Structure 1
């Protein structure tokens, strides 16, 4: 009976050890500075994304599953406005309160982009292949992309940027966005409930902006035509992830 109990205990210990070994690894994948960083919990560099600010005592989970790191240049000195790119650059996960709460930022609606491309030969949507860098400074984000292969070789790189960090409370919005090109283009219809994209939640190029009614809003006026210079930055310039994290090495 004693031998049986020992056998059961040994099996339980081994089972517990096996469960512990299968716990997904957690690794720091990006450091903004000496007190803010991103962690990824999961196997093969895919899983939960956690944000920590030790100075402000913030520890939140922007993404609950399936997150994969952005592989291009990533510079982020901004503190109040935080924007985290995804691997395929389909959207950004953003916070406007130092990382306490998170939401999604999107690119200009695809229907608007397609119409503008027909007019100006701009790219339809950023992706992993044409993204060059993403910089977040002074509470604004700047995604630099190169033209698609089908574009004009003389085209310069495009910059998708967010608005200035405030909302236009006095702006009277419409239920459409007037892209004002010519009589062949109808206004882009928006839902009746549409009022505006809150600051920092829409990324658009200057070329697109110039052709829309959004240019009338103060938060979109005077946007730069290049990424602002970043000085004294102490964080990482790329995300990093070890595909073998959590596995035993020989």
Structure 2
């Protein structure tokens, strides 16, 4: 209550000096009133914590090459990064998601990155300097079939070839790395296209009966990894902090020991 007494007394003195036209005392009493008012007024007194989208490495080919995702809930912008060759390529501007199926990818020039619904595949044959998209072939003799996350069992990329094990269509594969036209088809589709020149020759020879085995010296990951709860906190410091410090000093000068309850600053 002492500070209230100072405030009222300085106000009374100011009004008295104002009507008496004692200008010097008027300014002095007004200054005391302002000091007391500053010492008592509540100020927003808390720092705020906000959050920004985290950046996570969601898949690693080796020590230098990896896939990076920026966004909340394991969804957002996706990049292919090669620290050694200084490559930073944006695969998706937004809404990209991580794969949940087993996935192993040897660090080679040919790179295959499927979308989570397997509607398309981002493909590079120059070590990630450029990418293009193409679709898994779905046409079959009796109609069409499309693999999805419920049917895909395993994905392996090695020797610059893509292999996908599906519960219903066995092994999908891309051709051997000759030429420039990418494609991924199943054994069933190969039978349907066996007379098509596009799927003939050395590129499509030696259909595997089992999924290839990743070498023991493979240092990359065998699954994508992501923490959906991750957020990056940012402290927004209280802009009134200097005034609060000054207010504390004024209250100490006036002999006031009780604390002022500062308000929370609205977002």
TM-score when scaled to structure 2?
0.64
Q: Distance in 2 between matches of 1:117 and 1:241?
A: 39
Residue 227 of structure 1 is matched in structure 2 by: 211
How does 1:32-111 map onto structure 2 within 5 Å? 32-108=61-137, 110=138
Aligned length: 190
Matches within 5 A, 1:80-229: 80-108=109-137, 110=138, 112-113=139-140, 116-117=141-142, 124-147=145-168, 158-167=170-179, 198-199=180-181, 201-212=182-193, 213=196, 214-229=198-213
- Is the partner of 2:156 in helix, strand or coil? strand
Separation in 1, partners of 2:80, 2:200: 35
CA contact (8 A) 1:78 1:138 kept: no
The 8 Å contact of residues 69 and 87 in structure 1, kept in 2 or not, is answered as: yes
The structure carrying a bigger helix percent of its residues is 2
1 or 2 for the larger relative contact order (CA 8 Å, sep ≥6)?
2
Provide Cα deviations, 1:13-52, integer angstroms capped at 9, x if missing partner. x7xx76xx44311111111111111111011111110111
8 Å contact from structure 1 (residues 70, 89) kept in 2: no
Cα distance between partner residues in 1 of 2:145 and 2:159: 27
2-structure distance, mates of 1:142, 1:52: 23
1:59 deviates by 1.2
Q: CA deviation at 1:204?
A: 0.2
Computing the radius of gyration over CA atoms, which structure comes out larger, 1 or 2?
2
Q: Which runs of 4+ in 1 moved over 4 A?
A: none
In the alignment, what sits opposite 2:18?
Answer: none
Unaligned runs of 5+ in 1: 5-9, 148-156, 168-197
Q: How does 1:4-23 map to 2 (within 5 A)?
A: 21-23=50-52
Secondary structure at the counterpart of residue 209 of structure 1: helix
So what's the TM-score if we normalise by structure 1?
Answer: 0.68
Deviations 1:116-147 (A, max 9, x none): 245xxxx7110010011111101110011101
